[in-house]
A and B are shown apart, each in its own frame.
Chain A
Amino acid sequence: MDDGEARARVDAALVEQAVRRGDTRIFEILVRRHQGPVRAQLRRLLCNDPAMADDLAQETFVLAWRKLQQFRGDSRFATWLHRIAHTCFLQYQRGRGGKTQAAAQSDSAEGEALDFGVGSGADPQELGLDLDVALRRLSANQRAALLYCVQLGMSHEEAAQVLDMPLGSVKTHVARGKARLRELLHDWAEDNDNRDFR
């Protein structure tokens, strides 16, 4: 049994206990176990707006508590939670007329010349900024697909559940997102050809 599977089993047992006893202390364990990835997910979706991300994360956990009885264990608890968080994010986005800070920054990034070549490889922080700029130039679906499939380490099937999207579309968004990123980071890769990534 791998680590992820073991965590999923512990989560399922905790959910069962929390539902049966209606015990908030057991739910608190679940909150503590999952607050990091959920908040990180929302920070990424909102393009690093930590205050709003935390508000949405709180809303996510409150909703999860209300709907805990509906968790059937068909998917991992983490996947179920990320789906609620993604729905909260979409509702927030709709409330703002589909415009988030991420989208606004994406628009402004369109006008920016990506200066990957100038000294970018030397400083890891600077490299992170380059990647952030490149990510903002992807479509929202491509960004989300890469977030779930690569950064949060979900399977394509799990990402499809979270995004409420057909499996084929998720795979397409991942492939196109990576291709676009490669294109955008091409100059950087050229300058850092001999760099060890591992």
Chain B
Amino acid sequence: MTQLSDEQLDDLLRRSFNAAVPDDGFSSQVMRALPARSHGPEWLLPVAVLLGVLLAWLALSPSPLWQQAAREWLSANLHASSMLVCALMLGSGLLSCVWAMEEAS
């Protein structure tokens, strides 16, 4: 009994497969369905970052923790606890910023 050879089987499979599907308006339909790329103006990102920093400063400035950290920093005597609080605030701010930029892209 003869078994199909590898080449015969491959040829049979290729012949049964039609990769040349006619376009028939498909491409135009896809192009109509494409979402518009929302490219904001170039200045938007740096302005948004500056605005974010300003808002964060305004929100944090009344905080006694922040004021104490600022005083310690200005007197060049920053304690570990104040440093930790500042690092946490800075870290969460950076994370929010990265997340917002990722969402925007």
Residues of A within 8 A of B16 (CB): 128, 131-132, 151
Give residues of chain A (149-163) contacting chain B, Cβ–Cβ below 8 Å: 150-153
Residues in B whose Cβ lies below 8 Å from that of A95: none
Known contacts: A22-B39, A189-B4. The answer to whether A197 contacts B12 by CB under 8 A is yes
Q: Given that A22-B37, A182-B3, A190-B1 are known contacts, is A61 also in contact with B17, CB under 8 Å in the complex?
A: no
**Which segment, of A26-34, A86-94, A101-109, A164-172, faces chain B?**
A26-34
- Which residue of B8, B27, B37 contacts A35 across the interface (Cβ within 8 Å)? B27
Q: Do A35 and B26 have beta carbons less than 8 Å apart?
A: yes
Query: How many B residues face the partner with a CB closer than 8 A?
Result: 33
Q: A36-B21, A58-B30, A181-B9 are in contact. Are A186 and B35 (CB under 8 A)?
A: no
Say yes or no: A182 contacts B9, CB within 8 Å.
yes
Max count, chain B CB within 10 A of own CB: residue among A44, A146, A189: A189
User: What is B's interface to A at a CB cutoff of 8 Å?
Assistant: 1-4, 6-23, 26-27, 29-31, 33-35, 37, 39, 105
Task: Using CB atoms and an 8 Å cutoff, list the residues of chain A in contact with chain B.
Answer: 22, 24, 27-28, 31-32, 35-37, 39-40, 43-44, 54, 57-58, 61-62, 65-66, 69, 124, 127-128, 131-132, 146-147, 150-153, 178, 181-182, 185-186, 189-190, 193, 197-198
Q: Can you spell out 28 A-B residue pairs with CB atoms less than 8 angstroms apart?
A: A24-B34, A27-B31, A36-B19, A40-B18, A40-B19, A58-B26, A61-B34, A62-B30, A62-B33, A69-B105, A131-B12, A131-B16, A132-B16, A147-B17, A150-B14, A151-B13, A151-B17, A152-B17, A152-B19, A153-B14, A178-B9, A181-B13, A182-B9, A185-B12, A186-B3, A189-B3, A190-B2, A197-B7
